[in-house]
Amino acid sequence: MSERIFMTDYVYALPGLPGQYEIAKAMDGHEAVFDNNSESPFFGKLDFPEELLALIRKQDLKSMREDALAAGICSWLLMNRLDIDKDELISLPLFVATGVVIEKLFARKPKVLKYFNQALMMESTVDKNNRLSRILPPLLALETLTNAAETYAAQYGGMAGENTTFGGCSLGGFYSLKEGFDQIISGNIGRAVVGAVNLSGINSYRTFSPFFQSVDHWHESPCAVFMILESESNLKARAGLNAFELTKLEAIPTIPSLFEPQEKTFRDSILNSSSSSSLVFSGAFTDKAYELDYRACTATSSNSFSWYPSYGNLGSASVLMNLLGATHFIDTKKAETVECLDRDPYGRISKVRLKKYQL
Amino acid sequence: MIKERVFVLDYDLISPLGVGKKDVWENIEDQKSAEDEITNFDVDGLQIRHGCEVKNGLRQLYCNEPEQLLAAMRFDRKLELLCAVYKLMNDRLLVYLEKVESGRAGVILGLGVDVFPFELLDKDILMRLGSEMDPLLLISEQMKTWSGPLNLVLNPFDMYPIYLAEKLGLAAFQKTVLTACAASTQAFILGCQAIARREVDVVLVGGTDSILNLVGLTGFSKLGVLAESDSNPGTSCKPFDVNRKGTLAGEAAGLCLLVSEKYLDRTGGNPSFEVLGHGNTLDAYQITAPDPEAKGMIRAIENALKGSGIKPEEIDTINLHGTGTYLNDPAELLALETVFGNVLNKIPVCSTKDRHGHAIAAAGIQELVVLFECMSNNMVPSTINLTHPIGDSGADFVMGTNRRTPLNIGMSNNFSFGGINTSVVVKKINQ
């Protein structure tokens, strides 16, 4: 019989909630970071207090994107409270999912726009190239490094085992969860760290909005989430109690099309195959798409929840954040199991089932 | 730990050294360097003028693709290279894959960052600079004339494996790996692991990348990792040499079909290599430099050997990461000295980046294919610009001329920005 796998700890950062809170704070005590009258597209923003920023080396702050900074801080907070010896740490796996990696070049840096304008108007290629290469930031290659979140998570958390960074949308979060799960099952290790970050912002909007016909009221927020997966034997050995079992991880085998419209909401067959009475769902980027999802999901389960009304889409972090939502459902609504559903921008659907730990 | 045995059934490569593995092999055998003045775009005024480009016409390979895809390829070199290498293998892949259920076949690709092609769209940006909207946003909205997830510019990472999945019916998964210089090696390793744990029977792995564009070239140049262009093309990059001054910008796309033993038993295919083991670790050190003690590199190489169940002296050759940068090469050499000790001087080693450049996310798959071809032909290529090796390890760097020697078990290493370390060990299957 294969090993049972549990989620035993987590740290997350959302707009207004920078990495130090139980998930209840986000689910119960929060206010929506946007309202229906807010601009579209709308993106939330992560802010970290000075005491958390002080954890990060000044040199790193120079080249850190918002998501990479959040990864470093969340990883430090998570690993700082984990009782782990050095031998385990150097073989501790780390699997991370990331979204887009380019920040808002023009929107956030008006000066850059001005200089670009001047450079592009130059007649000769020599002058143009010279000018453009001078105004591109010196740390551009680091600022746009695709594995920056993983690297900073490792640097500030110390994990140094099997690893990767999956991209670039919500299914990447499922792949990182599945890889961590499989590493424990097949690798003779007791724990793994899985994480996901979503930068969101104008580049994410540029990248994904052309997929859809209607993009009015586009809502997306940055987010970082890191969690510990643990085997039952490891959990028992340390007499851990606060745990949630991952009883099902499934990505529906699909061949998406690059040229055809994507699924707009969850199919009935997907919803009806759930054996849980409670659902946490994600996938929508717009109010209209969320309404469709909400109607479909609440028709199946009256206990349904999505982060969308508060934060919009959480991109690559959606699947892991859904799990955090599920833990709250289990704790407060006494749900036995919770089904977490995600639909990525290509219509690929993943299902994860979470269950309260019972000895 | 590998449970189900994993085999390499087929592979191919688009490289600055050639279009297709046969071309690549011939140019390696002939000691050719692909370094030359960059022609993809006008480099006048830039400090770095040389790189390794794929110069042979690729369009004839993919000209029958849909118009939307051809339009996107004008701005996305990674997509163009990937389509070209897929077309090289198309007929063979269709034969292999008709013997497996689509739900038992997946695809994993290593990819580099998508950059906006300023050099190709400068006039379009200028036209939109007066608008209140972000000019790049306007371009991506206004220039796309079709619906669906394929964009004209700023394509999402997942699009590339989905392109292959749609062509070949790969339904189990379409994964994108984003770990820079180690990305396609990790794609290879993750593919092996998926087969080893019997999740699938077949995985198409590989990668595509190009940094031969204004933003890529400038970004890496400003970081100080690119060698200044010598007046004489072919000599800029000097891996492991005391006079090394940086790496050489490159591009490539490669694919490799990994299959399980069960698949081979059922279909009777003839694989060329078996994957014996792999290592994949983190430095957990810092983003800008490898750990000078090379602890992560050492563990990656040790894990690859341990998983293979072989002793260090059983390795016949190593294709090194060998970027030619100040920091990578000494760290890699230290890792080799630590793991291989006094047998290091008996293993011929080389870096081929001075010939084909650094293809970043496609570096791993390019160098694995080079290793496969060299092992198939029992030849270790020379590191053509290496004349005065660093250190006093006595490592058997192949210099001057290629070396003919029987090769049965080989290793390929790749290490990434941000301290990601990968190593793969393969064994040739003598037909």
Do residue A175 and residue B126 have CB atoms under 8 angstroms apart?
Answer: no
Tell me which amino acid residue A244 is: F
- How large is the ipTM? 0.96
Taking contacts as CB-CB distances below 8 angstroms, the residues of chain B near A104 are: 134
Q: How confident is the model at residue B128 (pLDDT cuts 50, 70, 90)?
A: confident
Q: Which residues contact B268 (CB under 8 A, 6 or more apart)?
A: none
Q: In terms of pLDDT, which residue wins out, B98 or B137?
A: B98
Identify whether the C-beta of residue A254 lies closer than 8 Å to the C-beta of residue A39: no
Say yes or no to pLDDT of B206 above 80.
yes
pLDDT exceeds cutoff 70 at B40: yes
CA distance B161 to B184: 12
Mutate to test the interface with B, among A91, A165, A199 (most CBs of B within 10 A): A165
What is the pLDDT averaged over residues A177-185?
Answer: 97
pLDDT at B365 over 90: yes
Mutate to test the interface with B, among A134, A147, A166 (most CBs of B within 10 A): A147
**A43 in reach of chain B (CB within 8 A):** no
Q: What is the CA radius of gyration of chain B?
A: 21
Query: Would you say residue B374 has pLDDT above 80?
Result: yes
Q: Do A136 and B218 touch (CB under 8 A)?
A: yes
> Chain A contacts of B115, Cβ < 8 Å?
102, 144
The percentage of residues in chain A with a pLDDT greater than 90, rounded to a whole number, is 59
pLDDT of residue A215: 82
Min CA distance, A220 vs chain B (Å)? 16
CB contact under 8 A, B178 and A105: no
DSSP bridge pairs for A43: A220
Which chain B residue has its CA at the smallest distance from A213's CA? Answer: B147
Q: Label residue A317 by pLDDT band (50, 70, 90).
A: very high
Cα–Cα distances in Å, from A206 out to A203, A339, B74, B135, B141?
A: 5, 31, 18, 11, 8
Q: What are the start-end ranges of the E strands in B240-388? A: 251-260, 273-282, 317-319, 348-350, 379-380
- Chain B within 8 Å of A211 (Cβ-Cβ)? yes
Q: Pairing state of beta strands B348-350 and B396-397?
A: parallel
| A154/B282 touch (CB, cutoff 8 Å), yes or no | yes
**Among B149, B23, B83, residue whose Cα is nearest residue A255:** B149
Q: Chain A: nearest CA to B57, how far in angstroms?
A: 25
Chain B: closest CA distance from residue A27 (Å): 30
DSSP letter string over B337-361?
HHHHGGGGGGSEEE--HHHH-B-GG
Shortest CA distance to A324 belongs to which of A69, A2, A6, A7?
A7
pLDDT of residue A36: 63
C-beta atoms of A255 and B137 within 8 A: no
What count of CB pairs under 8 Å joins A to B? 257
Measured distance CA(A11)–CA(A75) in Å, rounded:
8
Q: Are residues B122 and A128, on separate chains, in Cβ contact within 8 Å?
A: yes
The answer to whether B324 and B374 are in contact (CB under 8 A) is no
Q: How far is CA B240 from the centre of its chain?
A: 20
Q: Which residues of B fall within a CB distance of 8 Å from A343? A: none
The chain A residue lying nearest B128, using CA atoms, is A117
Per-residue burial over A108-127, b if 16 or more Cβ lie within 10 Å, else e, is eeeeebebbeebbebeebee
Q: Which of A137, A151, A186 sits opposite B419 (nearest CB)?
A: A151
Q: Does residue B394 register a pLDDT over 70?
A: yes
The predicted-structure confidence for B49-88, as pLDDT tens digits, reads as follows 999 999 978 999 999 999 999 999 999 999 999 999 999 9
Instruction: Tell me which residue in B137, B223, B420 faces A147 most closely, judged by beta carbons.
Output: B420
Mean pLDDT score of chain A, rounded to an integer?
Answer: 89
What is the average pLDDT across B307-336?
97
Other C-beta atoms lying within 10 Å of the C-beta of residue B123: 8
A133/B46 CB distance under 8 A: yes
Which of A328-342, B305-319, B347-361, B372-386 shows the lowest mean pLDDT across its residues?
Answer: A328-342
Instruction: For an interface test with A, give the residue of B75, B157, B283 to mutate (most A CBs within 10 A).
Output: B157
- Report the pLDDT value the prediction gives residue A213, as an integer from 0 to 100: 79
List CB contacts (< 8 A) between B219 and chain A: 136, 140-141, 144
Flag whether pLDDT at B155 surpasses 70: yes
Nearest-10 crossing angle of helices A170-187, A318-332: 70
Q: Which domains does chain B have, with CATH numbers?
A: 6-114+155-425 (3.40.47.10)
On whether the CB atoms of residues B47 and B56 are closer than 8 A, the answer is no
pLDDT digits (tens, 9 = 90+) for A217-266: 899 999 999 999 999 999 999 888 889 999 999 999 999 998 877 667 88
Q: A49-85: per-residue pLDDT in tens?
A: 999 999 999 999 988 999 999 999 999 999 999 989 9
Answer yes or no: is pLDDT of B142 > 90.
Answer: no
> Is there a contact between B151 and A105 if contact means CB atoms under 8 Å apart?
no
Q: How far apart are CA B420 and CA A95, in angstroms?
A: 12
| Nearest partner of A141 among B150, B218, B412, judged by Cα | B218
What letter does residue A104 receive in the DSSP assignment?
-
Q: Is the pLDDT of residue B413 over 80?
A: yes
Least confident of A355-359, B198-202, B247-251, B427-431: A355-359
DSSP state of A2: P
pLDDT at B147 over 80: no
DSSP assigned state of B240: T
Do B154 and A207 make contact, defined as CB atoms within 8 angstroms? yes
- Specify whether the CB–CB gap between B368 and B277 falls below 8 A: no
Place of tokens 């940094």: B211
Work out the average pLDDT over B334-347.
97
How high is the pLDDT of residue A39? Answer: 67
User: Greater confidence, B39 or A22?
Assistant: B39
Q: To probe the interface with A, which of B141, B179, B181, B360 has the most A CB atoms within 10 Å?
A: B179
The mean predicted confidence, pLDDT, of chain B is: 94
CB contact under 8 A, A140 and B222: yes
Q: How many CB atoms lie within 10 A of CB B309?
A: 11
In percent, the amount of chain B with pLDDT more than 90 equals 83
Per-residue model confidence (pLDDT) at position B376: 98
Mean pLDDT confidence for A330-335: 85
Residue of chain B nearest A204, judged by CA positions: B156
List, for residues A334-355, the tens digit of each pLDDT value: 789 999 999 999 999 999 999 9
- Cβ within 8 Å of B, A 222-241: none
Q: Min CA distance, A24 vs chain B (Å)?
A: 32
B143's torsion region: left (phi>0), alpha (psi -120 to 50) or beta? alpha
Question: Cβ A144–B112 below 8 Å, yes or no?
Answer: no
Taking Cα atoms as reference points, which of A275, A246, A277, A241 lies closest to residue A358? Answer: A241
- Other beta carbons less than 10 A from residue B146's beta carbon: 13
pLDDT at B89 over 90: yes
Q: What is the DSSP letter of A73?
A: H
Distance from CA of A292 to the nearest CA of B (A): 20
DSSP result, B157-194: TTHHHHHHHHHHT--S-EEEE--GGGHHHHHHHHHHHH
**Residue A59: per-residue pLDDT:** 93
All residues of chain A having their beta carbon less than 8 Å from the beta carbon of residue B136 are 105-106, 206
Band of pLDDT at residue A267, cut at 50, 70 and 90: confident
**What would the pLDDT profile of A103-148 be if each residue is shown by its tens digit?**
765 545 566 667 777 887 888 889 988 888 888 888 888 888 999 9
Q: DSSP 3-state helix, strand, coil percentages of chain A (rounded to 5)?
A: 40, 20, 35
What is the least distance, in Å, from the CA of B29 to any CA of chain A? 34
Q: What six digits make up the tokens of A292?
A: 């469709």
Sign of torsion, CA A286 A15 A42 A104? negative
- pLDDT: which is higher, A208 or B123: A208
What pLDDT score does A110 carry? 62
Q: Within chain B, how many helices (H) and strands (E) appear?
A: 14, 16
Residues in CB range of B64: below 8 A, 6 or more apart: none
Q: Which chain B residue is nearest to residue A108, measuring alpha carbons? A: B134
Contact (Cβ atoms closer than 8 angstroms) between residue B374 and residue B323: no
Tokens 């430095």, residue located: B283
Please tell me which residue of chain A has the smallest CA distance to B283. A160
B286: exposed, middle or buried (Cβ count in 10 Å: 0-12, 13-18, 19+): middle
Give per-residue burial for A298-308: e unless 16+ CB within 10 Å, then b.
Answer: eebbebbbbbb
State both tokens at A115.
């200089």
Q: Which among B169, B180, B199 has the least Cβ separation from residue A147?
A: B180
Is the CB of B178 less than 8 angstroms away from the CB of A127? no
